[in-house]
Amino acid sequence: MAFEHILTDEKLKKYMKSGDYKCYIKLKQEHRALTSDLAEKIANAIKKWALKMGATHYTHWFFPLTGKSAEKQVAFVDIKDKKLITSFCGSSLTKGETDASSFPSEGERVTFEARGYTVWDMTSPVFIKEDGDIKVLYIPTAFIGYNGVSLDEKMPLLRANERLSDIATKILNTLGYTDVKSVHTDLGIEQEYFLISQDMYEKRKDIVLTGRTLFGSSPSISQETYHHYFGKIDAKLSQFMHEVDAVLLKMGVIGKVQHNEVAPAQHEIVQRFFTTSVECDQNRLCMDALDEVAKRHNLKVLFHEKPFAGVNGSGKHNNWSISTDTGINILDVGMASEDTFMLFFTAILSAIDKHYDLLRMSTAGAGNDQRLGGNEAPPSVISVYIGEDIEEMIESYLKEQKNYKAKVTAMDLKTTYLAPIMKDNCDRNRTSPFAFTGNKFEFRMLGASQSPALANTVLSTILADELTLCYEKLSQGKTVKDIVKDNYELHKKIVFNGNSYDNEWTKLASTRGLEDIKDSVTAYMSLLKKENIELFERNNVMSQREIKVRFLSYIKTYCESIITEATVLNNILNKQIIPSLLKYLTSVLQTYKLCEENELNALYLDEICMDINYRVETLYDYSKNLQSVLQSAISADIDKKPIICRDKLLPLFTEIRTLFDEIEHKMPSEFKPFPTYDDILFD
């Protein structure tokens, strides 16, 4: 049953007194603090619903800086006066306690002062997750240390969204929208993933331990003919996808679209738009559902950004817009007034031009470094696609050509058998990192495994900061047109409507002063810039301490990822690859000897022997070098560790991999140490 396991406000209303329910709704609408008395009444209503649904436990569900979700399940059942009762009070709902020192806190929480709190997020509905006969009530929460420092992904996002709502509402009220009480960002996520058989997955220790292949030559046939993209969904896969949809729908998550992606074994699910904080929660539920349902079908989902070298990687496209509580999408030319659209639109351009480094930082990660700049992903240079029509609209607005209308034309399809269609007023630029698509922006740089929370925290923060400047100028008597002109003329260098994959764009971007931040280490350093710390602090999104926690946590995760890959790579090299090459060499030598005994020409076998022997010797030397560099990375201080990982370990990965990949496709099947790309992607 649709939405069966999510507690909507309409359902909650049935379990509360009318006056109490109205108080709760008004409190949420006016962004006021929850009283302890009302919390008790809400908790009682939630408990009644959860028990009726068959839940036996509840958990505070939160997102520490691990990139995963966390939970601690607590039973509803308790004992009072030697009798079994069900217990769930206001404090059980609003506050939980956990060991903050066991999650990434980078010195903010140490073992002897470990207490941390989870705090109910009223903006995201509670729901029930089902695992067979077990049902657990999930309560979305934020996570903070005992000292009030945020240690999670959600708290900064909620703060940034609230800050954006406050300043955007002030501007809209000034522009005549006096009925607007709040503003929110909306989000729609496109989640890409690979789906392979569980059997193949278990035979590839590199995928099991790192999420990606560390060795493997290109498949015999890949994505060149685009036969897989939007191809027919076979029966087994269709069953899997529809089961995922059913699981999600119970929890209020709507899988709107599903299809085959460009690469073989790659697919995509698109979530319906919701407010940003809710959509971030739902994206985690979507990823969990994909993973859990896959297990029931003897399949394995891969969320790594680049699980297969030479094959398209996976992203998470962040479709983002801004709406009022009265239902106006500010980025929809037809809904907002011309002045309103122009002010917000150019403020976004200005914000991105000033803070492109933070947007790039929000998509950083060892996995995404493998993907960005490939043929399936935007380059690492941040630019904005707005389309020629919007450019013309802005130019006309500044020239005071009143009521410019976007061109809407019917397409001549040269036949009456097809229904007539209208051409959209802008194209879709699939190469742009940040593209306007008619009534929203699509931020295409996020990696498939990443939470969208950080990117949307940055977006809301930088826009709130820019709108604050706009509001100050309006208060000083400047006109909207003056502000739009300043924003556009100073920051239109961030606009690029061409092919972002073209190498010429990188050169052009450099002449415009746009930085190409190619790697995560450089990207993370932008968090520590004085101007960026001040940006987050003056908008009450993150303190300097909270920024430092994130910087150290991100750097640590980056290093741990690469060090783990180096360890796994070396183990596979010594335990699987070199032994398999030696077996192959032994077989060829035996054949060579037989040829000599029978006076057959065996020169080609001699060449094969020489080639195998060279690769074994070289790989053995590489292994010793890799072990040495790995030890230096492990023992290095935190300021040197990421540099060693980036500049020494990663290049070694490529050199070692290349030596084996070049010969893998020549080896007879019986000597190959593990399943090949052909085996995995076309199983």
73-87, 349-363, 514-528 — which is least confidently predicted?
Answer: 73-87
% of the chain with per-residue pLDDT over 70: 95
Q: Do 301 and 274 lie in a common domain?
A: yes
Total domain count for the chain? 3
Give the side-chain half-sphere CA count within 13 A for 186.
19
Please, where are the H alpha helices in 106-153?
none
Domain membership of residue 26 as a residue range: 9-152
Q: How far apart are CA 145 and CA 115, in angstroms?
A: 7
Instruction: State the DSSP H helix or E strand holding residue 643, giving kind and residue range, or none if neither.
Output: helix 641-644
Name the band, by pLDDT with cuts 50, 70 and 90, for residue 421. confident
For residue 225, the model assigns a pLDDT of: 60
Q: Would residue 415 count as lying in a domain?
A: no
Q: Do 204 and 312 lie in a common domain?
A: yes
pLDDT per position as a tens digit, 357-406: 999 999 999 999 999 876 567 888 999 999 988 999 999 999 876 655 55
Tokens of 31: 């962004």
For residue 499, the model assigns a pLDDT of: 86
- The number of residues making up the chain comes to 683
Q: Would residue 1 count as lying in a domain?
A: no
For residue 11, the model assigns a pLDDT of: 94
For residue 106, the model assigns a pLDDT of: 67
pLDDT per position as a tens digit, 573-600: 999 999 999 999 999 889 888 887 787 7
For residue 139, the model assigns a pLDDT of: 96
217-231, 312-326, 465-479 — which is least confidently predicted?
Answer: 217-231
For residue 505, pLDDT beyond 90: no
pLDDT per position as a tens digit, 108-132: 655 556 788 999 999 999 999 998 8
> What one-letter code names the amino acid at 48?
K
Q: Do 485 and 578 lie in a common domain?
A: no
Q: How far apart are CA 577 and CA 233, in angstroms?
A: 36
For residue 223, the model assigns a pLDDT of: 64
| SS3 track for 519-577 | CHHHHHHHHHCHHHHHHHHHCCCCCHHHHHHHHHHHHHHHHHHHHHHHHHHHHHHHHHH
Domain end among 106, 125, 152: 152
Here the CATH number for the domain that contains residue 563 is 1.20.120.1560
> What one-letter code names the amino acid at 276?
T
For residue 487, the model assigns a pLDDT of: 95
Nearest to 265 by CA among 305, 311, 208, 210: 311
% of the chain with per-residue pLDDT over 90: 70
The answer to whether residues 243 and 269 touch, using CB atoms and an 8 Å cutoff, is no
Which residues, including other chains, have CB under 8 Å from residue 238's CB and lie 6 or more apart? none
The most confident of 257-261, 312-316, 531-535, 607-611, by mean pLDDT: 531-535
Domain end among 491, 518, 542: 542
Which has the higher per-residue pLDDT, 562 or 232? 562
> What one-letter code names the amino acid at 53?
M
Q: Would residue 578 count as lying in a domain?
A: yes
pLDDT per position as a tens digit, 184-239: 999 999 999 999 999 999 999 999 999 999 999 988 877 666 677 777 778 888 89
For residue 178, pLDDT beyond 90: yes
- What does the mean pLDDT of the chain come to? 91
Residue 321, beta-bridge partner list: 186
Q: Would residue 4 count as lying in a domain?
A: no
Q: Do 67 and 26 lie in a common domain?
A: yes
Record the pTM: 0.94
Q: How far apart are CA 339 and CA 216, in angstroms?
A: 55
For residue 226, the model assigns a pLDDT of: 60
Q: What is the DSSP letter of 174?
A: H
- The DSSP line for 345-369 is HHHHHHHHHHHHHHHHHTT--HHHH
What is the SS3 assignment for 228? coil
Here the CATH number for the domain that contains residue 137 is 3.10.20.70
For residue 263, pLDDT beyond 80: yes
Q: Do 88 and 192 lie in a common domain?
A: no
**Mean pLDDT of all residues in 504-519:** 90
